[in-house]
């Protein structure tokens, strides 16, 4: 199991989220500060590189397939999820590769990256992994609204009908764009 452990600390930051050193800051700079808990950078964990807020760090970890395992005021532990798939959009036609959920699991959510052009996503579904058709919910093309750095819940009753899926983005995305698909066993 891959685990990331990072430390957090309380820092003084200005309105632009820049860390302020009180020893070298001017009075004017000190008047424009607030205290915030941030992740302390660790060279071995890329998502910690820019001293992100705890929320931003957890969103970045989730987008990379890591789930929160433990957190207190001093540390955060995330572990690589064994229940999630990350798929990469194929930019030439805005469609992802095949997402195999034929093991009885169901796609129940998607986690979007911090850079995303599309505002909606639809799905192609298949029962054999070869022939894909648009996924409909009661006669209407199933579509979810998306944005950057979001965890979007999907309707399990709709998604459960497919053994294989493809994500179709509404716009062409940058090369390497990954959208994480969260799967769970649904009875």
Give the SS3 label for residue 61. Answer: helix
Our count of domains for the chain comes to: 2
Give the contacts of 94 (CB within 8 A, at least 6 positions apart).
118, 168, 169, 170, 171, 172, 173
Mean pLDDT of 78-105: 69
Strand 95-96 relative to strand 75-80, pairing: unpaired
Final residue of a domain: which of 42, 63, 80?
80
Residues 114 and 24 placed together within one structural domain of the fold: no
Q: What pLDDT score was predicted for residue 60?
A: 87
Q: Are residues 47 and 97 in the same domain?
A: no
Q: Are residues 52 and 17 in the same domain?
A: yes
88 and 161 fall within a common domain: yes
Where is the domain boundary, 37, 62, 80?
80
Tell whether 88 and 126 lie within a shared domain.
Answer: yes
- Whether residues 167 and 95 share a domain: the answer is yes
Q: What average pLDDT does the structure give for the chain? A: 84
The answer on 100 and 51 residing in a single domain is: no
Please tell me the predicted confidence (pLDDT) of residue 87.
55
- Residue 93: pLDDT above 60? no
Residue 185 has what pLDDT?
66
Domain that holds residue 38: 3-80
Average pLDDT over residues 74-94: 66
125 and 179 belong to one structural domain: yes
- Final residue of a structural domain among 46, 80, 114: 80
d(CA 61, CA 67): 7
Alpha-helical (H) ranges within the chain are: 27-31, 54-63, 156-159
């Amino acid at each position: 199991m891959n685990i990331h452990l990072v430390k957090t600390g309380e820092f003084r930051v200005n309105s632009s989220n820049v860390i302020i050193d009180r020893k070298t800051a001017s009075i004017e700079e000190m008047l424009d500060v607030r205290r915030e808990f941030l992740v302390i950078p660790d060279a071995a964990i890329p998502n910690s590189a820019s001293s992100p807020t705890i929320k931003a760090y957890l969103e970045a970890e989730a987008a990379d397939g890591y789930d929160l395992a433990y957190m207190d005021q001093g540390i955060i532990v995330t572990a690589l999820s064994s229940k999630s798939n990350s798929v990469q959009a194929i930019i030439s036609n805005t469609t992802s590769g095949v997402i195999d959920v034929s093991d009885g699991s169901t796609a129940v959510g998607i986690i979007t990256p911090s850079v995303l052009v599309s505002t909606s996503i639809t799905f192609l579904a298949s029962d054999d992994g070869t022939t894909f058709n648009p996924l409909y919910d009661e006669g209407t093309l199933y579509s979810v609204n998306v944005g950057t750095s979001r965890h979007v819940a999907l309707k399990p009753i709709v998604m459960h009908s497919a053994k294989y899926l493809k994500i179709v983005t509404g716009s062409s995305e940058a090369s390497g764009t990954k959208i994480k698909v969260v799967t769970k066993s649904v009875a």
